[in-house]
Structure 1
Amino acid sequence: MKEKVIIGERIGIKTILAGYVEWSIFGLMGAVGFYNLVGRYFISDSRVNLLVSLIIFIVVVLLVTPLFGANEYLEFSNEKVCHYQAGSYLQKWYRAIMIIMKKPDLCNLEIKTSEIYSVQLSYVRFTMLYGQAGYQLKMTFLLKDGSLFSVLPAGIDDMKKGRFEQAFSLLEENGVTIVDKFNLRSVLNDKNSFYMHIKEIEDLKKC
């Protein structure tokens, strides 16, 4: 069994560099467009146009830097469970800078595995585009002191990688009970199976 399991995408330097390459194209297009438009109708000095265009390019790339990568992920280990989440724009900026400097990401919620009594699996419903119903896994942690906290894992694409099952098995090895009254664990290997299973549950509720 792995000693550490991550659910969700953890942003890394490669992700940031890939984002730079992608958004540099948009920044370059904006800079060239400004250079041609302003140079033709407003400012005749080509050096000023070039300087402003360069500034536009840099600003576009810098503004989108915090948006590279996912905003949330969970990390499970034998010692602890960490919930990483960058909510505000400034938090995303700070996280990106720390990663570029090769500093560890800041965990906004850390629970020792030995303090967890059980994890209950359930789901929440949300409305997608065109009014379609979507479903997301909900994990509720019950601690031995009686406190609760819930997270909605963002790593739905990690189902095929088996990371959910790996995380649950790791918790069970450390004495944590997995409560699964909807039998969701059996379908957490494919998101289509997950959606169909919950849809069947919802249809039964209507009967």
Structure 2
Amino acid sequence: MNKEIIIGKKLTRGDVLKSFVVINLYTFIILGILVFTVFPSVNISNQKKMIYSVLIIFITWIVTVPMIGGTQRLEIDDQYIRYYHVRGTWNQFKEVLRILMKKDDRANFSVSIDSIQSVSISYSLTVGGFGIKGYKLLFSFLLKDYTVVRFVPFNISGGGNNNKKYEEMLTFLQKNDVEIVDPYVLKDKLGLTSEEILNYINKIEENK
């Protein structure tokens, strides 16, 4: 493989700062609506209005800032597969601080290509807001010591054109004598659009 395959995005300090600016912009828009439309109609003191305004900003930061650090990333090179994902609000908040301080990140798992015996690919259906259907791809790496490492992307149909990169990953592993277990023949469909893949999965479900 001449180049590293990266599925997902490695966040930089610039990415975090841009997200923080956007969060603050929307926060102050909401705050402005409250100050000029809601607060005048409520009989409370200016001191309480100030306290409520500060609380709104603080709560918004607590809820939204950790979400910046909740990304997923899979990296594949000639020797290793590495997976990065931070779970939990507090850990995601620390991840944002780590990025701002430009400290090295640690992979959730790092598996050498030579240690992989097989990779199985499957799926699960998802339902989002307003009943919108989607799907997740499920990857299970069976190592030669019989350890199983699982990787579940958030929702490939909502995550850009990563499906083609997954196909590239599987092709690379296959060339390195890793068995691809693909009972639903999904690998050959990863070059299609997300909608076409979802329709294919729905047909599988109808025939079960």
Q: Give TM-score, length-normalised by structure 1.
A: 0.79
Picking from 193, 196, 200, the partner of 2:196 is: 193
Residue 106 of structure 1: SS of its match in structure 2?
coil
Picking from 171, 174, 190, the partner of 2:173 is: 171
Higher relative contact order (CA 8 A, sep 6+): 1
Q: Is the 8 A contact 1:9 1:69 kept in 2?
A: no
Residue 196 of structure 1: SS of its match in structure 2?
helix
Q: Take 1:44 and 1:85, find their aligned partners in 2: how far apart are those partners?
A: 43
% identity of equivalent residues: 24
For the pair 1:85 / 2:88, whether they are aligned, the reply is: no
Change (3 A) 1:178 1:27: same
Change (3 A) 1:202 1:86: same
Q: Take 1:75 and 1:3, find their aligned partners in 2: how far apart are those partners?
A: 11
Task: For 1:1-207, list aligned pairs within 5 A.
Answer: 1-32=1-32, 37=39, 41-44=43-46, 53=53, 56-57=56-57, 60-61=60-61, 63-68=63-68, 70-129=70-129, 134-154=134-154, 156=156, 157-159=159-161, 162-189=164-191, 190-205=193-208
Task: Provide, for residues 53-108 of structure 1, a one-character-per-residue CA deviation record: whole Å limited to 9, x for no partner.
Answer: 46754663454221126532322222211221211001111111111112232212
Change (3 A) 1:158 1:44: closer
Change (3 A) 1:5 1:188: same
Task: Provide, for residues 88-129 of structure 1, a one-character-per-residue CA deviation record: whole Å limited to 9, x for no partner.
Answer: 001111111111112232212221221111111111233444
Q: Is the 8 A contact 1:75 1:83 kept in 2?
A: yes
Q: Take 1:51 and 1:199, find their aligned partners in 2: how far apart are those partners?
A: 51
Change (3 A) 1:132 1:24: closer
Q: Take 2:82 and 2:127, find their aligned partners in 1: how far apart are those partners?
A: 28
Q: Is the 8 A contact 1:168 1:178 kept in 2?
A: yes
Q: Is the 8 A contact 2:134 2:155 kept in 1?
A: no
One-letter code aligned to 1:82 = R
Change (3 A) 1:85 1:17: same
One-letter code aligned to 1:101 = M
Task: Provide, for residues 117-157 of structure 1, a one-character-per-residue CA deviation record: whole Å limited to 9, x for no partner.
Answer: 11111112334446665432111111001121222123613
Aligned residues: 203
Say what the alpha-carbon RMSD is for the aligned residues.
3.1
Q: Take 2:162 and 2:108, find their aligned partners in 1: how far apart are those partners?
A: 27
Gaps of 5+ in 2: none
| Bigger mean CA deviation after superposition, 146-155 or 187-196 | 146-155
